[in-house]
């Protein structure tokens, strides 16, 4: 999958004109890319379009138009675009109640290391997590983790051929598993290259 470049972005003026329709397109695109794992965790699988939206919004909010500053934003977000042999996602721990979330984040220390993905009967893939910075302390984890599932060629082929795929979390305080919905499976298959 190709990374974002300055040429793939809209100017601030053009983005202002197209923002509402672009945002609607991205939100519809993201629906197939969200996979719940139990009631309080979800993976939001990223790609070039979801990252373009993030960059465009940052440029808009910060009023960034200088080429070197635009490149800084691209450098920050491009690592979240899949490379063809992996799936990249944002793991969100979601508790609406602040007190419950705070208590849960203490119990869920290490949850990102308990996450896994399995294509068919092939071995489970534990993702590489939080390459950008440490997202936990010795007392609690973060509500947001960035993860990368590296797949073998056999896994990519099986995934693209429609092999059933499961995602789970085997944490002592949170054990849940989900089968990748058909719509999500099709969307993520486009991120992979054989």
Query: Which two tokens mark 163?
Result: 């092999």
pLDDT at 161 (0 to 100): 96
Residue boundaries of the structural domains of the chain: 1-31+48-81, 33-46+83-194
Tokens of 1: 């999958």
CA 159/CA 58 separation, integer angstroms: 33
Give the residue-averaged pLDDT of 72-89: 94
User: For residue 138, what pLDDT band results from cuts at 50, 70 and 90?
Assistant: confident
For residue 7, name the pLDDT band (cuts at 50, 70, 90): very high
- Look up residue 178 and give its two tokens: 């989900």
Q: Does domain 33-46+83-194 have CATH number 1.10.3120?
A: no
pTM of the entire predicted model: 0.90
Alpha carbon 110 to its chain's center: 18
To the nearest 10°, report the CA torsion of 194, 146, 123, 162.
Answer: -40
> In angstroms, rounded to a whole number, what is the distance separating the alpha carbons of residues 93 and 41?
5
pLDDT tier, 133 (very low <50, low <70, confident <90, very high otherwise): low
* pLDDT band, very low/low/confident/very high, at 10 (cuts 50, 70, 90): very high
């Amino acid at each position: 999958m190709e990374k974002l470049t300055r040429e793939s972005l809209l100017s601030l003026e053009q983005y202002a004109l197209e923002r509402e329709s672009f945002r609607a397109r991205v939100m519809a695109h993201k629906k197939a890319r969200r996979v719940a794992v139990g009631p309080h965790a979800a993976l939001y699988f990223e790609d070039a379009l979801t990252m373009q939206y993030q960059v465009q919004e940052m440029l808009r909010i910060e009023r960034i138009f200088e080429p070197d500053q635009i490149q800084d934003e691209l450098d920050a977000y491009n690592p979240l675009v899949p490379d063809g042999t992996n799936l990249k996602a944002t793991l969100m721990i979601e508790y609406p109640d602040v007190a419950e979330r705070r208590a849960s984040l203490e119990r869920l220390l290490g949850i990102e290391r308990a996450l896994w993905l399995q294509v068919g009967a092939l071995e489970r893939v534990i993702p590489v997590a939080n390459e950008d910075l440490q997202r936990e302390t010795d007392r609690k984890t973060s509500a947001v983790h960035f993860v990368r599932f590296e797949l073998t060629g056999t896994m990519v082929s099986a995934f693209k051929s429609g092999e059933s795929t499961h995602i789970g979390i085997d944490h002592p305080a949170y054990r849940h598993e989900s089968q990748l919905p058909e719509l999500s499976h099709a969307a993520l298959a486009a991120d992979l290259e054989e």
